[in-house]
Structure 1
Amino acid sequence: MSITVYGIPNCDTVRKARKWLEQQQVTFHFHDVRAEPVPTSTIAVWLEQLGSDTVINKRSTAWRQLSAEQQQIATNEDAVRLLQEHPTLMKRPLLDCHGTLSAGFNEKLWQSALEQR
């Protein structure tokens, strides 16, 4: 297993998280969700472990630009489809540290995930 950070490179929080990981001398892979779509199976795992309310950033500009119909998420399948169509809806960055997931950058949570590896 490995450490992967999902996000977009021009997001301030993603840049801050990547810089923090580099300062911790952690080797990680950065996955640009705009340039390389995230597989449906990966998104399904995120939603299963964290829930759609954690993975989807409903305070984002991208969310506000969706129609009311698009914002109706009844199932995880709906959420997967929405995140594939609009990858910037995800709460960024999303850390996958050997299967332990964390959405958003929180130094304490990320440090804890890294210590468990």
Structure 2
Amino acid sequence: MNFVCYPKCTTCQKAKKWLDEKGIKYELRDIKENNPSYDELKKWYKASGQPLKKFFNTSGLLYKSMELKNKLPNMSEEEQLKILATDGMLVKRPLLIKDNTVLIGFKEKDYEELFK
């Protein structure tokens, strides 16, 4: 199981604490140091069942400075995935990847459901 996060992110810290308190083992990956590749993002996106827009960190400075809010609706899925693969700070986090399940962000209820 992979836990892809940005260690300075408070939401990531909460998710990590939750996993640690439950004694759940995971492989930690710093998204800033080891950005997900196009192929990884495409695989995770398909497995998540979520719209691709959910993978964007819409509150991030980079997202805002690139004006992606206005650009994404006119971009193909492939173009969006390529942009996501350029910088980990564009990707919403944390990402929890377990088997064929991908959780985006941290909602305690979703984590509890996955590990019950």
TM-score by length of 1: 0.84
In the other structure, the counterpart of 2:31 is 33
Provide Cα deviations, 1:5-53, integer angstroms capped at 9, x if missing partner: 1121111111111111000000001111111121221100222232212
Question: Which structure 2 residue ranges, 5 or more long, are not aligned?
Answer: none
Q: Which amino acid aligns with 2:78?
A: E
Assess, with a 3 A threshold, how the Cα gap between structure 1 residues 68 and 92 changes in structure 2: closer, same or farther.
Answer: closer
Deviation at residue 69 of structure 1 after TM alignment: 9.5
| Residue 11 of structure 2 corresponds to residue 13 of structure 1 | yes
Counterpart residue number, 2:111: 110
What pairs up with 1:19-98 in 2 under 5 angstroms? Answer: 19-48=17-46, 49-67=49-67, 71-72=71-72, 74-98=75-99
RMSD: 2.0
Is the contact made by 2:35 and 2:87 (CA closer than 8 Å) also made in structure 1? no
Distance 1:95 1:71 in 2: 27
Q: TM-score, normalised by structure 2?
A: 0.85
Deviations 1:67-88 (A, max 9, x none): 4698335222112211111211
